[in-house]
Structure 1
Amino acid sequence: MTGGTPKTTISEYYEDGTVPWIVSGDIHKGEIFDCDKKITELAVENSNARYLPKDSVLIALNGQGKTRGTVALLRASNATCNQSIVSINPNNQRELFSDYLFYFLKSQYRQIRNITGDKDRAGLNMPLIRSITIPLPPLEEQKRIAAILDKADAIRRKRQQAIQLADDFLRSVFLDMFGDPVTNPKGWEVKKLDEVGVLDRGKSKHRPRNDPKLLGGEHPLIQTGDVAKSGGYITSYSATYSDFGLAQSRKWKAGTLCITIAANIAKTGILTFEACFPDSVVGFKPNQLVTTEYVQTWLSFLQKILEANAPESAQKNINLAILRDLDIPLPPIEQQIRFTNTVEKINELKRKLNNSSKLNKDGFNSLSQKAFAGEL
C-alpha cells in the first residue's frame, strides 16, 4: 500500500508530531529506525497516512536523482509514509521473509528502474510493482540467504562509517588548530578570498552545451556533479571535450580547487589532472598566504550558509562576486601546511577505504546474484 500527506495548512497535523513520517529521501538509509519528519496522531487519523508494520519493505515510487526504485527496511514501530512510497508487508502465510525480500529488491534496482524506461521524470506505480516476480525458496532458505547477505553488507557499511569518521576527524583537527572559521575566536587576521588567490569561472561559450561537436574527445570535462561527489579530490570524470570543445573552454591545471556555484552550492574538489569545466564551476589557485586544503576545509564550514542564502530562479546559484567577498581568517602558513599534511595522510587512508569498499560492493553484488540464482 502507499501512504499519504496530511494537509500542510493544518498546523495541528505537524506541530509537536511524534509519528515518524517517511519520505522518498529517507529510503537511501537502507534501514530506517527514525526519520526527520514527524506528524501527529491526529494527522494519521484524518489523512491517507497509515501506520506501517515493523519490518515492512519500502520502495520509492519516485523522487530526485536515483531515488526511484530504491528500497529500505522499516525498523521503526508506528511509522507512516507519504504517497511516493509503497510499503510491502510480507505475510508469513505466504512464507516471505522481509529481509530476503529487501535484499532481492535491492539486487533488482536497475531492472526496477527499467520498468519505466528509466526516464528522468518517470515514476513507478502499484501495477508495475505487482508485476515484479520473486524467486521463492522455502522460508528457512530465505532466512539463510538473508543472514549471509546481511553479514556481507555489514562489512560494506563499516567501511562507509570509517570514511565518514575520517571526514569528521579532519573537521575536528581544523577546529582544534584554527577555531570556528565563522566566528574566528582565535582572532586571526582576516582577508577577502580574492586577496589570497585567484578565482575565475570555468568557460563553456558554445550553445547548446550538449552539441555533439563539443564532446567525445580526449580532454577531461568536470561538471558540478563530479565535484559534489569527489570526496575532496577529483580523480575521475564522466565526460570529455573534443578539440572543438576545448577551443571554446579552458583547461585548468592539477591542484586547482573547483568550487560549484550552481545546482550544488559551494561543493569542492581538488583536481588531480588537467581538466576543463563550465561556468557553473569556479577555479581557485592560492597565493603564498594559504594552502589549497586549508581553503577547501574552511569553505566546507560555510557551505550550508552559502547554500541557504543562495538566490533561486530555476535553480539555486551564487556568483563569483559572492565568493570573492568572503572573509577568510589567515592563521600562520606554517600551521596551514601542518594541516595540509594531515589532510593528505587522511585522504590516503580514505582512498584505501574507498578501494576496499568498491571491492566489497562488487563482492556483495556477485554474492547477491548467486543467492537469487539458487547458487549460494
Structure 2
Amino acid sequence: MGKWEMVRLGDISDLITKGTTPTTLGYSFQDAGINFIKIESIGETGELIPDKFQHISEECSQKLKRSILKENDILFSIAGALGRIAIVSAEILPANINQALAIIRISSEQVDLEYVTIALRSNYVFEQFQKQKQGVAQLNLSLKNIADITIPLPPMEVQRQIADVIDRASVLIEKRKAQIDKLDLLVKAQFIEMFGDPVTNPKGWEMIPLGEVATKIRSGLSRKLSSDDIGVPVIRSTNMINGQLDISDIKYWYLDDPQGADVPSYYLKDGDVLVNFINSNEHIGKVCIYKDMGRDCIYTTNIFVMNLNDQCNTTWFNQYAKTQAYKFRLNNIIQPAVNQSSFTTANYRKMLMLLPPISLQNQFATFVHRVEAQKSVLQQSLTKLEQNYKSLMQKCFRGDIF
C-alpha cells in the first residue's frame, strides 16, 4: 500500500492476547476491586467509561495474569462491536479484561502508539476484517487474525506527523458533533420552559388517554428483507434514532408481495408518527416522524404508524416521547419477555399523556423547526468533515502527503 513498508502487527508487538470470564475460574464479580473492562466499557470514539467497568478481586486478577493490563496497552474488541479501540491510561489501573477484548502491547521503538491506533481505525484495516469474514453473520477475530493485520510503517517522524494531522481533523469533527448536541439540549430546555416537567406537571395540563388524539394505529409487514433494492424501502426500528429517521442503512421488500399482502396499503406518508412497540426494554417505545424519502416506503411489523388529530402536534409529541414521564407510563403497559418486550395498541391508546393547548404546541414546533434548520446546516458540515477525514487518512497512509 503506497510507498511505506508494510508490517504485521505481530511483528511490532510483544503481546497479543485476550482475557476471559472470571466465572470460568469460579470467581464472581464484586462491588469494588480490580477494574474489569468489557466492550461496553469502551465508547465509540475510544474513551474508557469507568461507570461501565465491573470489578474483580486481586486473587481473581492474578489467576488471569496474562490479561493484566499495563499503561499504553491497546485494547481491541474482537467480537460483537468489532474493532472498538482504546489506549489504557495509568488512571484506570490495576485492570483486567474479558474474552471479547484483545490486548496489543507494542514493543518496537520504531512505532508511535497514536499512529498505530489511528491505523487500526482506518478503512484499510477494516477491509482486512471484511476479507476474513467470509460470509459469516458476525465475525469473531482470533488472535492470529489480529497478529496478521498489516499496516504501513513510515519513519517515526512521519508517523507522528500523520498522528498529529489526523488528531486535528478528529477534533474538528468532535467540535461539530458537540454543536449538534447543544442544539438538542436547547430543544429539551425549551420544552421544559414552555411545558414544565411532564412527570410533576407543575402547569396543571390536562391528562388524557393517548387514544383521544390518535386517529390511526397500524402495524407493518413481517418479512425477511433484502439488502438489494428489490422493490420498496422498508423502515425498521434500527432506522429510528433519537427521534430522527436515519436511512443510512436501509433494507427492501417486493412491491408485489409473494405472500399476498397489499404492499401499497402500507405506504408511509410524510409526517406519519412511527412507534416501535416490539424491542428490547432499552429501545421499546421510541418514536420518530417519517420524512418523505422521495419514493414509496413501507415499515416492519415491530413498528406501528400513528396519525394524530388536530389537538396534538406531531413535532410536540415526538419531543414528549423522549421525556421520563412518557417512558414511566410506557413501562406500565410493557409486557416483558426474555429477548424482546412489547405492548399492545389497545393499551397504548389507554396510556395517559398530558395535553397542553394546541396553540402552545404549535409555538414549540415552530421553535423546533428553526433549530432543525440550524442542525441541518451543521450536519451537512459534519458529513463533509467526515468525508474529508477518510480521504485524508487514505492519503496519509499511501504517502501522498508526507
The verdict on a shared fold, with TM-score over 0.5 as the criterion, is yes
User: Counterparts of 1:81-160 in structure 2 under 5 Å?
Assistant: 81-91=97-107, 93-107=108-122, 108-117=125-134, 119-160=136-177
Q: 1:256 aligned to 272, 280, 296, which one?
A: 272
| Secondary structure class of the residue paired with 1:153 | helix
| Secondary structure class of the residue paired with 2:86 | strand
Partner of 2:238 in structure 1?
A: 225
Distance 1:285 1:109 in 2: 42
Distance 1:320 1:85 in 2: 42
Distance 1:326 1:161 in 2: 35
Distance 1:223 1:124 in 2: 28
Pair 192,210 (structure 1): closer, same or farther in 2 beyond 3 Å:
same
Partner of 1:178 in structure 2?
A: 195
> Cα offset for 1:267?
2.0
> Cα offset for 1:241?
4.0
Q: 1:45 aligned to 62, 65, 76, which one?
A: 62
TM-score by length of 1: 0.87
> Cα offset for 1:47?
4.0
| Secondary structure class of the residue paired with 1:135 | strand
Distance 1:372 1:318 in 2: 51
Distance 2:66 2:184 in 1: 38
Pair 46,211 (structure 1): closer, same or farther in 2 beyond 3 Å:
closer
Q: 2:83 aligned to 53, 56, 69, which one?
A: 69
> Cα offset for 1:111?
2.6
Of 36-45 and 270-279, more deviation after overlay is shown by 36-45
Q: 1:340 aligned to 351, 365, 373, which one?
A: 365
- AA partner of residue 239 (structure 2): D
CA contact under 8 A between 1:56 and 1:74: conserved in structure 2? Answer: yes
Pair 89,211 (structure 1): closer, same or farther in 2 beyond 3 Å:
closer
Pair 369,325 (structure 1): closer, same or farther in 2 beyond 3 Å:
same
* Deviation by residue 1:106-139 (Cα, 9 ceiling, x = unmatched): 0022432432226223301101111111211222
Of 165-174 and 95-104, more deviation after overlay is shown by 165-174
Partner of 2:256 in structure 1?
A: 244
| Secondary structure class of the residue paired with 1:375 | coil
| Secondary structure class of the residue paired with 1:31 | coil
Distance 2:396 2:142 in 1: 27
Pair 29,222 (structure 1): closer, same or farther in 2 beyond 3 Å:
closer
Q: 1:299 aligned to 315, 321, 324, which one?
A: 321
- AA partner of residue 372 (structure 1): F
Q: Does 1:32 align with 2:47?
A: yes
> Cα offset for 1:224?
1.4
Cα RMSD (Å): 2.7
Distance 1:366 1:183 in 2: 50
Distance 1:322 1:290 in 2: 19
CA contact under 8 A between 2:206 and 2:356: conserved in structure 1? Answer: yes
* Deviation by residue 1:150-200 (Cα, 9 ceiling, x = unmatched): 000111111122222222221122122212223323221100111112241
Q: 2:288 aligned to 269, 273, 295, which one?
A: 269
Q: Does 1:16 align with 2:32?
A: yes
| Secondary structure class of the residue paired with 1:265 | coil
| Secondary structure class of the residue paired with 1:244 | coil
Q: 2:336 aligned to 311, 336, 339, which one?
A: 311
Q: Percent identity?
A: 26
Of 81-90 and 310-319, more deviation after overlay is shown by 310-319
Of 145-154 and 20-29, more deviation after overlay is shown by 20-29
Q: Does 1:4 align with 2:6?
A: no
Partner of 2:397 in structure 1?
A: 372
- AA partner of residue 283 (structure 1): V
> Cα offset for 1:236?
6.5
CA contact under 8 A between 2:225 and 2:253: conserved in structure 1? Answer: no
Q: How many residues align?
A: 364
* Deviation by residue 1:86-106 (Cα, 9 ceiling, x = unmatched): 121222x44221111111110
